[in-house]
Structure 1
Amino acid sequence: MQPFEYTRATAADQAVAVVSADPGTSFLAGGTTQLDLMKDGVLRPERLVDITGLPLGGITHTGSAVRVGALTTMEELAADGPLRERLPFVRESLLLGASTQLRNMATIGGNLLQRARCRYFRDPSVPACNKRAPGSGCAAIDGIHRMHAILGTSDHCIALHASDVAVPLVALDAVVHIQGMDGTRSVPLTGFHLPPGDTPHVENVLRHGELITAVEIPLLPEGTRSHYLKVRDRVSYEFALTSAGVALLVDDGVIREARTALGGVGTVPWRCRGAEDVLRGAPPTADTFRAAAEAALEGARPLPGTAFKVELARRTLVRALETVAGASA
């Protein structure tokens, strides 16, 4: 690991000012991904500003939303009673996303900012990685890419966004609150992460020095049922091959509200609006769910090693929908 300077921030505006003034300075929170990348030589910050002492944690409930401080840990959010009752698929995604030890360290803000799990991105001895070295190529396209994306890819990058909790959050239209040198702003999570296009190294809309301060999670109408299903190679802690976060409000045999998103398949957390359009106003039947799954995977661009994900993702979504519909019956 490259030597670096370490400081502890005492106020959010101070932290923002210090990081904004120096391209070689980064924030440090839970560090569960960042420190690994530093040890591997992928990230080489000259200075880290520790923000863990800032008052950016806590969970606040209102009548229509849950506001989660960016430094709230995954475990703290998973343990929140009202969230478990109203948005169980958020809790399920947290519990399936990491071991207990990691959940006690990893923060919600940091989870949204976790870097790609691409083996080529994380290995500096591989020269071709547009995300790590813009313009160098993408070794994954012609290499081993079984754990890579099939939606939102480009000819420059197929790296997967691996967050579990981002899947239900993007389905819920969560909003990310940000503080920077020019003040504060709020960005819908659906527009926070950026697909690779021809600039894979630009992963989100944050400007250097901007700090996530909170995530606001809208509540769904009373009676809505939700579920997060994660398919992986082993039951123990592992990244998703495919996952689905779904929520349905079924009334009088008709789906009145539907939220769907996929994980394990997209370069960003993948909102399935086409599937939602199929579901709303339709009966909760096998035919409806299969049609929704077909719509969700429109535009998929699999490579030989990821071709299996197309049908697996469809089946994952169908099974999640069947689970929720059964609970709503």
Structure 2
Amino acid sequence: MKNKTYYPVLLLFTILCILPASVLADEKKEETIYDQRLALYKKTETITEIPWYFIAAVDQYERQIHKDIEEDQVISIRIPDEIWYGAGNNSTDINTIQLFQGIGKDGNGDHKADPTNGEDVLYTMASYIKKYGYTEEDFKIALWNYYNRDLTVQTIKNTAKVFKKFNGIHLTDRDFPVATNYNYSYRNTWGDRRGFGGNRIHEGTDIFADYGTPVHSTTYGVVELKGWNLYGGWRIGIRDIFNIYHYYAHLSGYEEELKVGQIVKPGDVIGSVGSTGYGPPGTSGKFPPHLHYGMYKDNGYSEWSFDPYPYLRKWERMAKNK
């Protein structure tokens, strides 16, 4: 008769063998998607001479504004049918599209312009941009004429800068906004009532720490705003590559030479904890020192606050496990 512990031990051994393999498979799948995207961006650059990071930034922006993007979808740009095919047309034949003054183009050599084909879509978007020229200013003009929205243009331009600097698109690292080797505490305060300046809700999480505790960038992005705010005191706004605006408030000061337009990465020191705000520039000490950290999502039409607490808990674990 077999030992009674045999089957439980065998089951445990099987689980331990399978779990790492499944995790590795998920990681490999993610790597493959990023590799496929980058390969297509660089192929499009080769045939259009539009820098790959411009093309990648447009695709990254659209990936964030569409709610029904599949997890394994490689390319996310969606060009409206009336622009792709031309008014009154629904044929993918490139000659017909040209006749109806559509912009759809054949990027994979099959003589069709298919708006569901990633190569066709990237080649079409890059060709549209190419009409305006090759400089960053030309890129800005092309984006404005296509999207007609300043924030969209700024977001895509900044994402392109980040991709160019780090020479890649798989930028998923994160950090906790307060140095974890200092004393700090926080709880979920998003949605709490605030009275200064009239009744309003608290659009962030307060992380209490001593004066001067280093404040870190949580993400890859670009400094979009820096300066005084009546409610937030000395504050910094960083827009990341996922169309999210990260708001750091009540700072006692900024990291030396930090400026608007600067590219940052997770862990970069951008300032220090303070208690500024609730008054004219320089007002401090009306509340205990803490960092107010907020997150705002842009969907291409509007921007709204959402609860950062679950993300902070995750990033805290990531920071402490490094």
What TM bracket, shorter-length normalisation?
A: under 0.3
Higher helix share: 2
Structure 2 length-normalised TM: 0.21
| Structure ranking higher on relative contact order (CA contacts 8 Å, 6+ apart) | 1
